[in-house]
Structure 1
Amino acid sequence: MRQLTVLGTASQVPTRHRNQNGYLLRWDSEVILFDPGEGTQRQMLLAGLPVSPLRRICITHFHGDHVLGLPGVVQRISLDKVPHPVAVHYPAGGQVFFDRLRHASSFYDVADLRPVPVGPGFRVETPAGALTALPLRHSIETYGYRLAEPDGHRMVPSLLAAHGIAGPAIGELQRTGRFGRVTLEQVSAPRPGQRFAFVMDTGLCDNVFHLAEGADLLVIESTFLAEDAVTAAQVGHLTAGQAGSVARQAGVRTLLLTHFSQRYADSARFLDEARAEFDGDIVLAEDLLQVPVPPRLGSSDERASASRR
């Protein structure tokens, strides 16, 4: 299963209908929690999501709407006696904030948290693929994240039959890359790995595009509308139109807009503004919404075709 559960969609101030940030990505066996804002533990309960499968927590920056739920999640990990380590990634310059949140109150602490601070050139290999981070442009140290599955091969039945490859021989070919004189390349087609990008509080900058490049699913903030573009630039945020433009230029397949300012009563305006820039799939995030990662494209040619659309 590859699916994102949206736990919160507000920005600095929660509303009656929008909790503060929180996004849980299930990518096969890898389960990653991004930016656990205030109330994340309760939102996970409402979504039917236990903490026990969590393998990783990624924090973009240490503003409250992105981290004040961390103490509750950590304490729940301890209470439920999660048996495996949970890695926590966060900007290295915010170590003091992580330390305070990690031990925000007294509790019986048996959580096996593994802090892995993020800095320039950050990259870690996970069972889901390479997790990288790039700095963004905000009022404090902020990073966006990208998860990229390795490219692979898709076996083509007609080519296998033409070379007389069947049964256990297919497995050996996949494991070793060769069976007799037949190579893997002769009986398969390229299968591009899937990509996920997570971009929160930032002004428009090159790294936004680098993170989003070719993403099957891009989760991106769209705090403001174009009418407040000057304010957005001053405080290091994006407009919905800018988010749509990024998706178009980066060849994104599905764009998820989130992190909405409470100043706008009609959230449909974000969708309208992004749609003017991007004609691909757009999801207007709502609390507790479940969004599947789009089905895999079969070849690099298909990916390029989808990007052009």
Structure 2
Amino acid sequence: MSVRELVVLGTGSQAPSRTRNHNGYLLRWDSEGLLFDPGEGTQRQLLFAGVPASAITRICLTHFHGDHCLGVPGIVQRLSLDGVRGPVRAHYPASGRDFFARLRYASVFHEVAELLEEPIEAEGTLATGPFGRLRVRRLDHPVEAFGYQLVEPDGRRMVPELLARHGIGGPEVGELQRTGSLRGVSLAEVSVHRPGQRFAFVMDTRLCDGVFALAEGADLLVIESTFLGEDAALASTYGHLTAGQAGRVAAECGVRTLVLTHFSQRYTDPSRFHDEAAEVFDGKIVVAEDLTRVAVPKRR
């Protein structure tokens, strides 16, 4: 059975706290495991979450501030320590090649895992496969940063009543799906349109076109909300979002589940982030906590 869920490994920002590790988010999407922004301590958080290093198929960095990448050395070395088979691909802003090289070889280790670097040169599609398309858009932060979007292609959902009406069953269903027609019956006659699922990951940024493009139609949006509205000036100065702005993005883009994260340690009451976002967004809101899991919503 395929699994589509977000495993939250860390939810802090520049400085971790007693209750919040540096960033770290693993998206389990069928056979893919996309590890986003592994901050310091991510390797240990994976152990606490019960997720093996072999679950990782891609490492996706938004930018090279420490709370988003200082866990790379531990993850890279763990891949080799565990003898992970099959290539693991690493995506990161091309302007940070030197930083990634230092992180990858931060200390001596016996490298046996295959890590393929695929730096991001520009906006667009990074990869395609059975999972769909992995895309990136530029964000607005003091250093070069990109957000990620995973888009599954639209498909068809078979309708049992219509199949029965045309006398189609068993292996014939698979044949009809592969060929598009069977005994004069077209696929469209026995199925309905099924929208593909969408996931978006938006970290450190001010509001910009890229944020809205990434979030458009997302079933699950993971987005930073470092500050509350009372500190909007600080958010703008340092290139971050407030919880209210994150809620606005979700509302305007038709998001189904909104996951708020990357909280400044200055705040002690997480419920305030929920309440501020809920003022403008009436969908499901999750104020992320370390080691929680958030399921990708069922298909529309």
TM-score interval for Structure 1 and Structure 2 normalised by the shorter chain: over 0.9
Matched letter for residue 247 of structure 2: G
Task: Give yes or no for contact 2:251–2:281 (8 Å, CA) kept in 1.
Answer: yes
Name 1:90's counterpart in structure 2: 92
Name 1:63's counterpart in structure 2: 65
Name 2:189's counterpart in structure 1: 186
Return the offset for 1:168: 2.2
Return the offset for 1:161: 1.9
Task: Give yes or no for contact 2:229–2:243 (8 Å, CA) kept in 1.
Answer: yes
Task: Give yes or no for contact 1:223–1:261 (8 Å, CA) kept in 2.
Answer: yes
Task: Give yes or no for contact 2:123–2:138 (8 Å, CA) kept in 1.
Answer: no
Return the offset for 1:180: 2.2
Superposition TM-score, scaled by structure 2 size: 0.98
Whole-angstrom CA distance in 1 between matches of 2:123 and 2:56: 24
Task: Give yes or no for contact 1:30–1:127 (8 Å, CA) kept in 2.
Answer: no
Name 2:168's counterpart in structure 1: 165
Q: Deviations over 1:86-115 (max 9, x none)?
A: 000000111110011010011111120000
CA RMSD of aligned residues (A): 0.8
2:272 counterpart of 1:269? yes
Return the offset for 1:164: 2.1
Instruction: Please list every run of 5 or more consecutive structure 1 residues that lacks an aligned counterpart in the other structure.
Output: 298-309
Name 2:35's counterpart in structure 1: 33
Of the three residues 128, 150, 155, the one matched with 1:152 is: 155
2:248 counterpart of 1:245? yes
Name 1:293's counterpart in structure 2: 296
Matched letter for residue 196 of structure 2: G
Whole-angstrom CA distance in 2 between matches of 1:55 and 1:6: 17
2:80 counterpart of 1:78? yes
Aligned length: 297
Name 1:300's counterpart in structure 2: none
Matched residues, percent identical? 65
Moved over 4 A (4+): none
Task: Give yes or no for contact 1:135–1:207 (8 Å, CA) kept in 2.
Answer: yes
Q: Deviations over 1:110-165 (max 9, x none)?
A: 12000001122331113311000001000100000000111100001121122222
Task: Give yes or no for contact 1:9–1:20 (8 Å, CA) kept in 2.
Answer: yes
Matched letter for residue 235 of structure 1: Y
Of the three residues 123, 135, 138, the one matched with 1:135 is: 138
Return the offset for 1:239: 0.2
Matched letter for residue 118 of structure 1: I
Q: Deviations over 1:39-96 (max 9, x none)?
A: 0000001111110121111000000000000000000001111011000000011111
Instruction: Please list every run of 5 or more consecutive structure 2 residues that lacks an aligned counterpart in the other structure.
Output: none
Name 1:254's counterpart in structure 2: 257
Name 2:122's counterpart in structure 1: 120
Q: SS of the residue aligned with 2:276?
A: helix
Within-5 A mapping of 1:214-229: 214-229=217-232
Matched letter for residue 49 of structure 1: V
Whole-angstrom CA distance in 2 between matches of 1:168 and 1:44: 41
Whole-angstrom CA distance in 2 between matches of 1:126 and 1:264: 41
Whole-angstrom CA distance in 2 between matches of 1:59 and 1:159: 46
Task: Give yes or no for contact 2:157–2:193 (8 Å, CA) kept in 1.
Answer: yes
Of the three residues 8, 16, 19, the one matched with 1:17 is: 19
